[in-house]
């Protein structure tokens, strides 16, 4: 136990003095897979930072947070949260969350007016703007963005024409693939087929699916034509062809994370507009309009609460996620 305490003190000391561990070179721009980055971190910790037979081990899931990978590790019988840069080059043994201030908060409607004005001015304008939201169907942050967009369409149906949800993945050997496996890939394909062939059922189905992920129940609730949907998913000239168009579009914009927003062909962020809320994303779309005089939803009042991540029966769970994404 005494050795474990010494190890903990050493780790905390490294964190408090702000030492960055450059074991694999200087910061690069090429992100690697979360599992690979965390494996590098654990290897370094075990080789250079601990001794006496104590070993650091991954304990739980890996997630992206504020541009780095956060992971939980078990060390000497204790659990610690640590962070590694997305290229695997810089280890942060411990992080301190800095509370948001009124001027920089991206949740609850607190927005820096000057930043918002500048972000709005920098966006491409179009008479009929289109916001493309690239997601995967089981990513908690992709679900969060889909929840935001479904809320906008629910409260302001006229905004539907300005929104297109697209999917990240690939077609390999005649089969659709996705970052979280076949179940997600098939759900992506299901949603793509609904979007393309039963568009009036797409958002009703999505609003239901976002609650518990129960696809079959939601297909029934949304009155989806199951035969037509099955035919689309099995016919490569329909379902896979639709999906391939999404993937080509994603490659065009170099999309790698769920969610990624593209407004009028330009990368866009909801951050300056208030975060992942219906009000913020609606404002983002409206900033892409050449003129908002004919857009009724631009003068409406939508929720400024940040939407829940993952599957949730509530629009907002009261906890934010910043700009987190699945890679």
Q: What is the DSSP string of 36-73?
A: HHHHHHHHHIIIII--TT---EEEEEEEEETTEEEEEE
- Along the 327 residues of the chain, how does pLDDT read in single tens digits? 455 445 544 544 444 434 344 343 333 446 788 888 888 888 888 887 777 677 888 887 787 766 788 888 877 766 677 888 888 888 877 665 443 333 333 344 456 788 888 999 999 999 999 999 999 999 999 999 999 999 999 999 999 999 999 999 999 999 999 999 999 999 999 999 999 999 999 999 999 999 999 999 999 999 999 999 999 999 999 999 999 999 999 999 999 899 999 999 999 999 989 999 999 999 999 999 987 665 677 877 899 999 999 999 999 975 556 678 898
Residue 226: CB atoms within 10 A of its CB come to 11
> What pTM was computed for the model?
0.68
Long-range Cβ contact pairs of 17-23 (< 8 A, separation 24 or more) = 20/90, 20/91, 20/92, 21/90, 21/91, 21/93, 22/89, 22/90, 23/48, 23/89, 23/91
DSSP state letter for 100: P
Q: What is the DSSP string of 188-249?
A: HHHHHHHHHH-HHHHHHHHHHHHHH--HHHHHHHTT--HHHHHHHHH-IIIIIHHHHHHHHH
- For the chain, helix, strand, coil in percent to 5 are 45, 15, 40
pLDDT of residue 88: 83
- Helix axis angle for 226-234 and 182-197, nearest 10°, is 120
Strand partners, 263: 131, 266
**120 torsion bin: left (phi>0), alpha (psi -120 to 50), beta (else):** alpha
pLDDT of residue 66: 64
The SS3 of residue 153 is helix
CA distance 7 to 48: 12
Q: Hey, what domains does the chain have and what are their CATH numbers? A: 2-92 (no CATH), 113-299 (3.40.30.10)
């Amino acid at each position: 136990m005494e050795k474990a305490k010494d190890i903990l003190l050493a780790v905390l000391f490294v964190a408090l003095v702000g030492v960055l561990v450059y074991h694999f070179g200087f910061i690069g721009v090429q992100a690697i897979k979360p599992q690979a980055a965390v494996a590098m971190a654990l290897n370094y910790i075990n080789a250079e930072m601990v001794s006496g037979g104590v070993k650091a081990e991954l304990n739980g899931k890996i997630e992206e947070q504020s541009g780095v990978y956060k992971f939980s590790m078990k060390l000497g019988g204790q659990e610690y949260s640590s962070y590694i840069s997305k290229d695997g080059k810089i280890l942060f043994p411990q992080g301190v969350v800095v509370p948001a201030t009124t001027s920089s908060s991206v949740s609850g409607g607190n927005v820096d007016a000057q930043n918002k004005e500048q972000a709005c001015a920098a966006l491409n304008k179009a008479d009929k703007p289109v916001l493309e939201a690239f997601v995967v169907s089981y990513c908690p942050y992709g679900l969060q963005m889909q929840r935001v967009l479904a809320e906008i369409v629910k409260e302001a149906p006229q905004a539907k024409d300005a929104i297109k949800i697209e999917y990240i993945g690939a077609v390999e050997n005649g089969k659709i693939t996705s970052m979280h496996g076949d179940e997600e890939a098939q759900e992506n394909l299901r949603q793509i087929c609904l979007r393309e062939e039963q568009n009036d059922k797409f958002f009703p189905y999505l609003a239901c699916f976002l609650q518990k992920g129960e696809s079959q129940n939601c297909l029934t609730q949304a009155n989806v034509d199951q035969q037509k949907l099955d035919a689309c998913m099995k016919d490569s000239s329909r379902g896979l062809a639709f999906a391939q168009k999404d993937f080509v579009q994603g490659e065009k914009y170099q999309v790698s994370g769920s969610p990624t927003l593209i407004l009028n062909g330009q990368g866009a962020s909801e951050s300056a507009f208030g975060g992942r809320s219906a009000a913020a994303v609606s404002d983002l779309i409206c900033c892409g309009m050449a003129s908002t005089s004919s857009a009724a939803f631009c003068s409406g009042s939508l929720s400024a609460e940040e939407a829940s991540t993952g599957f949730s029966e509530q629009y907002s769970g009261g906890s934010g996620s910043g700009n987190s994404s699945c890679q």
